[in-house]
Amino acid sequence: MLGVKAPRENAEKVRRYLKQAKMLDMEHKIFGKGKFIYIPVKALSGKAQKGIGKFKAEIAEARFERQKGMQAEGKGMLAANVEAKAYDVLGSIAIINRVSRAKELAKAIMRANKRVKTVVMKKGAVKGKYRTRGYSHVLGSRNFIAVYKENGCIFRFDIRKAFFSSRLAYERLRIASQVKDKEHVMVMFAGVGPFAIEIAKQHKNAKVVAIELNKYAYKSMLENIRLNKVEVEAVQGDVKDKAAKYKNWADRIVMPLPKSSSSFLDSALLAARNGCIVHYYAFGKAGEAIQANKEKIREFLEAHNAKPVFLFSRTVRPYSPSEIEVVIDFKIMKGKSKGKGKRIHKAGNTNKN
């Protein structure tokens, strides 16, 4: 969950600053660990990031407990199902996992969170080339259109027709905070535009290209670009076809397609300038995912007269009992491989998650 890590001596100043900026999350508890205090936030704008920096504070991801009374009736929710704490909220819509006592859980959520007007339940896993899933209505108004605010941006979309994860909020903020003015940024598999729009919102001089295959998600991205008053070049189509048109263009590439990002390393290599930074998301076995994916990246680049310089990696979230999602940031250095370079091949159309 998104938060701010502040030195203990400056924590109260940071809390007051966030409260005044209306970014403090009042539903979760502040806690201390070592020399730092962790403060939960609802969002964090680029201006706020600079503001907290004056107090030597920085963005951080942490597990925050809910305040008493905000635990969806505490025992009532727990009685409904132990998975209650795992529900997501997108605007006025709460999304729960498949449970046997869904209506009881939905009532508890709506009592605890007055912003929630609709509760829906997942029908199954994300699937298909558009990475969508089905939902069944449980309680409240029968609405599937989310109006969701994150990091100073607003996104409107049908949750049934496009992939969106609020649990990537920290990643979007982390990457946007690294982008420099006048950078050329390519966002592959852009969905309704969260990565691209948040980058463009913070860096008005950056050139941002967002590629998305799903026609509905693309149209929603256009609407969200308008709502947020940013400049993003939205492109509808397959990354395999479209990325090649930006050969040697990108200073930074975002690849948020964890099930098959490796199939698009050829497209990333074509679009990348020498020294391009790539934010690569992938699934893998817990304890092995980061190293296994680093090897995959290294093998591909070295086979194509390039090499990676790994900059950062972390576990993003658990995906299943045995799998996790990770992110690996690396720099592409072209013409650096010891072996003989091979012609970059185009893999089949595997734009799936």
Q: What is the pLDDT of residue 296?
A: 97
Does pLDDT of 336 surpass 80? no
Q: What is the pLDDT of residue 118?
A: 97
> Same domain for 173 and 288?
yes
Q: What is the pLDDT of residue 66?
A: 78
Position 68 confidence tier, pLDDT thresholds 50, 70, 90 = low
Return the percentage of the chain with pLDDT > 90, whole number.
59
Does pLDDT of 8 surpass 70? yes
Whole-number mean pLDDT of the chain? 87
Position 77 confidence tier, pLDDT thresholds 50, 70, 90 = very low
Q: What is the CATH number of the domain that holds 213?
A: 3.40.50.150
Compute the average pLDDT of residues 76-94.
63
Q: What is the pLDDT of residue 61?
A: 82
Compute the average pLDDT of residues 160-165.
95
Residue 70 lies in a domain: no
> Out of 99-103, 150-154, 193-197, 327-331, which region has the weakest mean confidence (pLDDT)?
99-103
Residue 352 lies in a domain: no
**Number of domains, the chain:** 3
Q: What is the pLDDT of residue 254?
A: 98
Does pLDDT of 111 surpass 50? yes
Assess contact for 280 and 330: CB atoms under 8 A.
yes
> Same domain for 196 and 308?
yes
> Same domain for 87 and 220?
no
Position 317 confidence tier, pLDDT thresholds 50, 70, 90 = confident
Compute the average pLDDT of residues 4-12.
87
By C-alpha distance, which of 259, 247, 282 is closest to 350?
Answer: 259
> Same domain for 91 and 45?
no
Q: What is the CATH number of the domain that holds 114?
A: 3.30.300.110
> Same domain for 202 and 330?
yes
Does pLDDT of 84 surpass 60? no
Residue 347 lies in a domain: no
**Unique residue bearing structure tokens 């998301």:** 281
Residue 9 lies in a domain: yes
> Same domain for 84 and 189?
no
Compute the average pLDDT of residues 24-51.
84
Q: Decide: residue 133, CB within 10 A, 0-12 exposed, 13-18 middle, 19+ buried.
A: middle
Does pLDDT of 342 surpass 60? no
Q: For residue 109, give its domain range.
A: 75-143
Distant-in-sequence, close-in-space partners of 229: CB < 8 Å, separation ≥ 6:
none
d(CA 188, CA 26): 35
> Out of 8-12, 35-39, 69-73, 119-123, which region has the weakest mean confidence (pLDDT)?
69-73
> Same domain for 203 and 292?
yes
pLDDT tens digits for range 224-270? 999 999 999 999 999 999 998 999 999 999 999 999 999 999 999 99
Q: What is the pLDDT of residue 304?
A: 96
Position 64 confidence tier, pLDDT thresholds 50, 70, 90 = confident
> Same domain for 189 and 328?
yes
Q: What is the pLDDT of residue 29?
A: 86
> Same domain for 173 and 261?
yes
Residue 234 lies in a domain: yes
Does pLDDT of 75 surpass 50? no
Question: Could you give the C-alpha distances from 114 to 72, 84, 119, 152, in angstroms and in order?
Answer: 10, 16, 12, 21
> Same domain for 100 and 124?
yes
d(CA 184, CA 208): 6
Residue 353 lies in a domain: no
Return the percentage of the chain with pLDDT > 70, whole number.
90
Assess contact for 99 and 80: CB atoms under 8 A.
yes
Q: What is the CATH number of the domain that holds 37?
A: 3.30.70.2580
Q: What is the pLDDT of residue 86?
A: 61
SS3 track for the chain: CEEEEEEHHHHHHHHHHHHHCCCECCCECCEEECCEEEEEECCCCHHHHHHHHCCCCEEEECCCCECCCCCCCCHHHHHHCHHHHHCEEECCEEEECCCCCHHHHHHHHHHHCCCCCEEEEECCCCECCCCECCEEEEEECCCCEEEEEECCEEEEEECCCCCCCHHHHHHHHHHHHHCCCCCEEEECCCCCCHHHHHHHHHCCCCEEEEEECCHHHHHHHHHHHHHHCCCCEEEECCHHHHHHHHCCCEEEEEECCCCCHHHHHHHHHHHEEEEEEEEEEEEEECCCHHHHHHHHHHHHHHCCCEEEEEEEEEEEEECCCCEEEEEEEEEEEECCCCCCCCCCCCCCCCCCC
> Out of 138-142, 249-253, 265-269, 318-322, which region has the weakest mean confidence (pLDDT)?
318-322
d(CA 258, CA 125): 14
> Same domain for 189 and 293?
yes
Among the three residues 143, 159, 183, which one is the final residue of a domain in this structure? 143
Compute the average pLDDT of residues 302-323.
92
Does pLDDT of 349 surpass 60? no
